[in-house]
Amino acid sequence: MNRQCPFAIDALGGDVHAEAARVREQGPATRVLLPGGVSAWAVGRSADMRRLLVDPRVSKDAYRHWPAWISGEVGEQWPLAIWVSVQNMITAYGSEHARLRRPAAAAFTARRAAGLRPRIEEVVGELLEDLAASGSGGAVDLRTRFAHELPTRIVFELFGIPEHSWAPLHKIINAFFDTGITAEEAQRNAADLDVVMADLVAHRRRHPGDDMTSALIAARDTATRPDTRPDTHTATATATAADTGAGAVGAGLSEKELVDSLILLFTAGYETSVNLICTALHELLRNPAQLALVRAGLASWEDVVEEALRIEPPAFYGLLRFAVEDIDMGEGVVIGQGDPILISFGSAGRDPEVHGADADRFDVLRPTRGQHLSFGFGTHHCLGATLARLECAVAVRRFFETFPAAALAGAGELGRVESFISNGLRELPVVLGPRAPVAD
């Protein structure tokens, strides 16, 4: 039973935190309406989310466990269809998830991420030099000039994406996270994505390199798996992959699964890191006392990253999960079999039951700063979490070392991206101030 009337999720993410508080207050799960009129259960309490995220009765496979998708009641015309229509590890369930996650995991091991530190430091240094050389004294947009550029170069290099594909992919990814677009715009964007991805895969087949895309393609091309979603009872691939990404890293993938896995990996690796870097910079710029704690050695840059993840998760909601069978949430609320579930990662970060009455305040010394769900939890925990944390810690440390007097340009609240999924600043205008003396 549900004791509240459903309310509509704001497609443009106008005030996601107020919305999340409302979800928490209404119980362990509450009915909401998603863009396009799709009904779902929203879950906003940290404890309830943690329980559901490891519950085997919760699936992410719309093709198997969402009756409205299976019947065609909700289909490709839904503006958010791409979030459930892709066939990769993020939408898989059970043994299928294990099969699809295995090859992707080779790209984002902790060892591989640590090995990228020298390149991250190098790119950050180049970007800071570019900022210093601008020397105008006016405001610069750190989202465009800094936070955007770092993960773009790292992730696109990691996957060997040629530069001629960068601009089209950025445009497509931005539309991917724009949850206010029309069905027609969403379908056009999906078609554009198909063209760009076909070009990328064809390019890397002709010109293989030392990158994850080439490794996935090479392994895929040696496999004989049919290009359809396999039956869940078929045997999973047994090949393992070294940290280099070589070997049978993509064995067992269909062509669609190959493409959809690539979409997931470099889309998630880009968008979340941009938002995270912006949040960390913004919070320290508007809370100089918190920056002083770090400079005094009372908190680390890694503490900054965790508190930024807690207070403003790079992805606010997770679309979608489905009840494999009825799930009793307590307090008289039952999520029915086949019902879609919306997980509010952003709500978990400000749950007062976990973080106290001042959960809305940025505090690098907060004891619970690491107790967030910003990279998920359980089997679907984000593979790129280590890389995103590393990129952010290096970027923020180097920025404040280079521009110690940097300040926000102007007062007032900054605009945020128009999305209820992606959670970040639309821009971050900053006056850099004088550059710190360069050590001999």
H/E stretch holding 393 reads helix 385-402
Rounded CA separation 274/354 (Å): 27
The candidate with the shortest Cα–Cα distance to 149, out of 269, 272, 262, 274, is 274
Amino acid at 429: P
Rounded CA separation 336/324 (Å): 9
Rounded CA separation 149/123 (Å): 9
SS3 per-residue string spanning 8-42? ECCCCCCCHHHHHHHHHHCCCCEEEEECCCEEEEE
Rounded CA separation 261/150 (Å): 22
Rounded CA separation 121/395 (Å): 8
Between CA 376 and CA 384, with CA 378 as vertex, the angle to 5 degrees is 50
Amino acid at 88: N
Rounded CA separation 16/228 (Å): 37
**Number of CB atoms found within 10 A of residue 142's CB:** 29
Which amino acids are annotated catalytic?
268, 271, 273, 382, 391
Cβ(85)–Cβ(258) below 8 Å: no
Cβ(103)–Cβ(219) below 8 Å: yes
